[in-house]
Structure 1
Amino acid sequence: MFLLAVIWGLSIPITKLGLETVPPLMFTAMRFLVAVPLLLMLAAGRLRVPLRAVPSIIALGVMGITLGNVAQSFGVQGTSASVGTIVSATIPIFIVIFAAVRLGQPVAGRHWVGLLAAFAGIAMVAVGSGSGVEDLSKTTVTGVAWMLVSAVAIAFYYIWSAELTNKYGTLPVAAWNALAGLVAILPLAAIEMANTPHEVTVQALWTTVYLGVMVTVAGLLLWLFILRAVPARVAASVQYLQPVFGITAASLIFGDRLGGLFIAGVTVILVGLALAVSNKRPVPEDLVTE
């Protein structure tokens, strides 16, 4: 889970680098042109799924790959690093809500307190990340709206994919839904390329390779494995560490200064995580002695 937090935490600053010369739809398509062949190769020999599963897998790909990732690209383009980080940090909360509704996983009061405390820590981390007025001025209402759409879509995608992989296997579901999402993106990316100036630089290429290989393929497989190993609230809460790595990386790449509030925010996040993943169990009656 810690490794996944690092991999995914670097995704927003790296996406910002890629979007400097490539527009959002084209950039997302390039990312999945890298990821889909890898997923298909990993799933070779295990790609057969029942016919009844096809509509759900296609819908999953359109929801998570097309809507979720395209919305995130537009959102990252239209928000500052601080605001984008804060909005993307709502993904774990949506994951816990969807898991409670769809999977029936219980969430105790202390878990909610931990999740909200961790979210407050994210706010402190973002404010203490050193972004100036010039950076904040890049944030638009549309950008924030796109980030929220992305957060909801990605959270639902994670929970729904866990349901489908339990039925049909991790690799077949991951490969086919990524392919479905890519097919849905390609026509939109072609229209954007014809009407928007762009330049495929070395920087754009290596960012799409990182996002395709590490974030999409390795990250998705890690996430699906984690969801099958621990409750969604535990998996989701650990994701609050992602913005810590993301803002730290942004400070190194874009020169933001990290102040004392950043350190305080990290501390609050860790306390929140401790509450969110706590699992107090009653002592069995047969172990209680007079």
Structure 2
Amino acid sequence: MTMPPSPSRGRIIFFLILTTVFWGGSFLFTKIGARDLPPAIFVLLRFSLASLLMLALCLPRLGRLDRTTILRGAIVGTALGVTNLTFVVGIKGTSISRAGVLNNLFVLFIPLIARILWKERIGPSHLAGILMASGGIALLAAGGGQGFNRGDLISTLCAFFIAVHIITVSKVLKDDDVWLISLVQFSVVALMAGSTVALQQPAAIKVSREALFAIAYCAVFSTVICFTLQNTYQRYVTPTQAGLIYTLDPVWSLLAGFGVLGERLAPREWLGCGLIFLAVVVPLAIRYLQERRLLQRYRPAG
């Protein structure tokens, strides 16, 4: 029995970049949807629709849905739920330009969490990245006349929960069916958002056409398609290479904020965003170069 050929390098990179485009678009459409809807209701509608779509895709696989898959999916789904609830609250309270850059801090939070929980060493490049990120946040706080507001704080907290979700996925999931795991994850997020809505008991709301389109975009493109593309193509690259590609997320959110919403950043804010972006890219780039050197050293002759 022969294994199916791996996709070409160009195809892998293309679809991973397309994933960042779809995810970058979620900042814009979440901002639009959150104008009319409370964050918990927006997350509830988004992930309820995503769960229904994933259920339709998983119908031939439902016979393999067992207790272990449900348990593991519920664990990573809980982390995903907290991530998405803080994501919407953060975007509602700040510009999508700032939120996109701050969310990317998850790359720096991962080694910090690993250090605290498993005593893993933090390399000099990550320490430098943390210092640059701190300087970037200070510049954001000093620029734009609004300081480091509540939305910025929640967006930074969201970056922490993104890191928690990534670590949870790597520690909890084994050889699970990624389609069924995604179905359980989406369903858990919908249940968490629904519980939050029930506790808050919001007043009657009116959903605009723009909000409905935003929900549909985020459910289809930023959830179902993004997860499918990631699960399909990310396994063909190293985590470092994937991380470098995913740093394009804030680029698209900055462009969307500038071109569609008319957001403008003060010079200090631009400098702060640039420092945070470098804080993420520099450690990843150094790690990528180290990986290349190791690969060349141990590559068999010929």
- Corresponding residue pairs, total: 276
| Residues 114 and 271 in structure 1, CA contact (< 8 A), matched pair in contact too | no
Counterpart CA distance in 1 for 2:109 and 2:278 is 20
1:208-287 alignment to 2 at 5 Å? 208-257=215-264, 265=274, 272=282, 274-278=285-289, 279=291, 280-281=293-294, 283-284=297-298
Change (3 A) 1:122 1:54: same
Match of 2:36, SS?
coil
Deviation for aligned residue 1:176: 1.1
The more displaced of 83-92 and 96-105 is 96-105
Q: Which of 63, 74, 91 is matched with 1:58 structurally?
A: 74
Partner residue in 2 for 1:161 = 169
Q: Which residue of 1 aligns with 2:88?
A: 73
Is the counterpart of residue 140 in structure 1 residue 156 in structure 2? no
Q: Which moved more, 1:198-207 or 1:146-155?
A: 146-155
- Counterpart position of 1:26: 41
Tell me the CA shift for residue 32 of structure 1.
0.7
Return the match for 2:61 from 43, 46, 70.
46
Residues 152 and 52 (structure 1), Cα distance of their counterparts in 2 relative to 1, 3 Å cut: same
Output the CA distance in 2 between the equivalents of 1:286 and 1:88.
40
Are the structure 2 counterparts of residues 225 and 95 from structure 1 closer, same or farther at C-alpha, using a change threshold of 3 Å?
Answer: farther
Are the equivalent residues in 2 in contact too, given 1:49–1:172 (CA < 8 A)?
yes
Distance in 2 (CA, whole Å) between partners of 1:51 and 1:270 is 38
Q: Give the 3 Å change call, closer, same or farther, for CA 132–218 of structure 1 in structure 2.
A: same
Q: In structure 2, the residue corresponding to 1:256 is in which secondary structure?
A: coil
* Residue 159 of structure 1, CA deviation: 3.6
> Once the two structures are aligned, what percentage of the paired residues are identical?
22
Counterpart-to-counterpart distance in 2, 1:182 and 1:215: 15
Counterpart contact for 2:105–2:280, Cα < 8 Å: no
Q: SS at 2:223's partner residue?
A: helix
Give the secondary-structure state (helix, strand or coil) at the position aligned to 1:195.
coil
Name the structure 2 match of 1:204.
211
- The CA distance in 2 between the partners of 1:185 and 1:166, in whole Å, is 27
Q: CA deviation at 1:118?
A: 9.3
Question: Could you tell me the TM-score, scaled by structure 2's length?
Answer: 0.74
Bigger shift: residues 88-97 or 158-167:
158-167
- Report the alpha carbon displacement of residue 199 of structure 1 after superposing the two structures with TM: 2.2
What per-residue deviation string (whole Å, max 9, x for no partner) do you get for residues 206-230 of structure 1?
Answer: 1111111111111122223344222
Tell me the TM-score normalized by structure 1. Answer: 0.77
The one-letter amino acid paired with 1:52 is T
Aligned CA distance change for structure 1 residues 71 and 271 (closer, same or farther; 3 Å): closer
- Does 159-168 or 171-180 show the bigger shift? 159-168
C-alpha distance after superposition, 1:226-253 (max 9, x if no partner): 4422232322232211111101111111
Instruction: Provide closer, same or farther for how the CA distance between residues 286 and 26 of structure 1 changes in structure 2, counting only shifts above 3 A.
Output: closer
Contact 1:11-1:211 at 8 Å conserved across structures: yes
Amino acid at match of 2:75: A
Could you tell me how far apart the structure 1 residues matched to 2:184 and 2:105 are? Answer: 27
What is the distance in 2 between the residues matched to 1:87 and 1:251?
17
Consecutive unaligned residues in structure 2, runs of 5 or more: 1-15
User: Are residues 35 and 114 of structure 1, via their aligned partners in 2, closer, same or farther at CA, if it must alter by over 3 Å?
Assistant: farther
